[in-house]
Structure 1
C-alpha cells in the first residue's frame, strides 16, 4: 500500500504539470502546398509498442511492435493515395552502414524537434519568448537532411512516429484506486506525430501531434484510425466533395 501511495503522489504532480490544453497542429507561416505540385517521400515510420507497468514504466514488446508496423504500413499506403500529391515510400539503405545510421539519427532528431514543438509551442503557457504567438512556427532539422540517400528529386520528407504503452492489469487496478482518491492516473500512453520537412531548407513546415491518440495500432481498424489522426489537416490534400445529402 505504501508503494501505491508513492505512485499516486507522483501521478498527482504529473497531472498538475500537464493540465493545460494542448494544440495539435502547426504550420510555418506563409507555407502552402497545392495539390499535384510536389513529390513527397515517406520515411520509415518510427513505431514503438509495449506495456505499461504498475509504476508507469515502459516495457517494450517486439511482437506488438511488429504487428503495429504491419498494420500501420498498410494504413499509410492506403492514405498516401488521398494526400493530393505524389507520395512514395523511402527506399532504405541496403546492408546498414553509415547511411542507415544517418537515417536513424534524423529520425531521432525529428522526434526530438517534434517533442520540443509540442512542449514549447503547442502548450501556449510554455511558449518560448520568440514563439509567443501561434503564427511564430519556426523549427528546422537543418538543410543536410536532403543529403540522405534516396531523397534526390523529392520536395518534402514526411516523418511519422507513434508510441503506445498498453496499461497492464495492475496499472488499471491502480487507476481505479487513484480515481477513488481523486488523483489523475492514466492506464496507457498513446501518442504520435507526423511532420512535413521542406528538403530545400530542412524546415519543418507542418506538424500534427497528440499525446492522447486513439486506435489500437495492433489491428487494422485501430491502425487506420491512428493514421487518420496523424494526417488530419495534411497540407495539399484536396477538399472532400460536398454530397447532396450534406447540403442544407
Structure 2
C-alpha cells in the first residue's frame, strides 16, 4: 500500500506533515499528534462565549486514545534527533552529485552525517548520537521520509508552529524541495551499490500531495557546514544548532 501525504487546507496542515515526518511507522502517534493540534486550533479560534465549538467525532475518538501532550512532545523531540541525521545523508548525496565529487556513495554520506551530528547541538545543547551503527538504525526507521527531513535541514527557518496565514507558502516551499530530494533519491544509485538500485525505494516512500512540483536546488541552498564536509574540509570549530 502506497503511503501518501494528504492535506486538507486547514490551519493544521503543517502538523499533519510533521506527524508523518516524525512517526512514519507509527499511525497511532501520527493520528494523536494531528488530533491534539486540530482540537487546540478549534479551541483557540472559538469566539468569546462559544462553549460549544464543535470538534469532529473522529478527532474526539483519537484524543481519547492519545498519549498526553507532554508524552507526545517528548516523542517528537526524540524522533527529530534521529530523523535529521537521515535527512542529512540524502542531502549530502545530493551535494556530492552537485559538486561532481568522485564516487559519491551512501557510505561517504553517512560519514558526513556523523560529522554533522558531532558538530550539531540539538535544542537545549544536547548532542545527537552519531555512531555509524546508531545511524543505521535511524535509517531503518526514517528512510521513508528522508526527503522531507533533507528539505527541512535546508529550510531551517520553517516552523510548524507558524500561524496558518503565513505558513501556507512556507509549507508549499518545503514540499517542493522535498519533491526534488525524492526525485533525486529515486534516480541516484550509490557508488558500489549491489544490486544497482536507487537509494530511495519507490514503493516505500511517503508520496507528496498531488500537484507538488520539484524545486531544483543550487549549491548555495545548503548549509555551509554541510558543503564544507562534503568537500572534505574538516576544520569546523563552531557548534551548529538544529532547532
Structure number with larger C-alpha Rg? 1
**Structure of higher RCO (CA pairs closer than 8 Å, 6+ residues apart):** 1
User: Normalising by structure 1, what TM-score?
Assistant: 0.28
User: Normalising by structure 2, what TM-score?
Assistant: 0.28
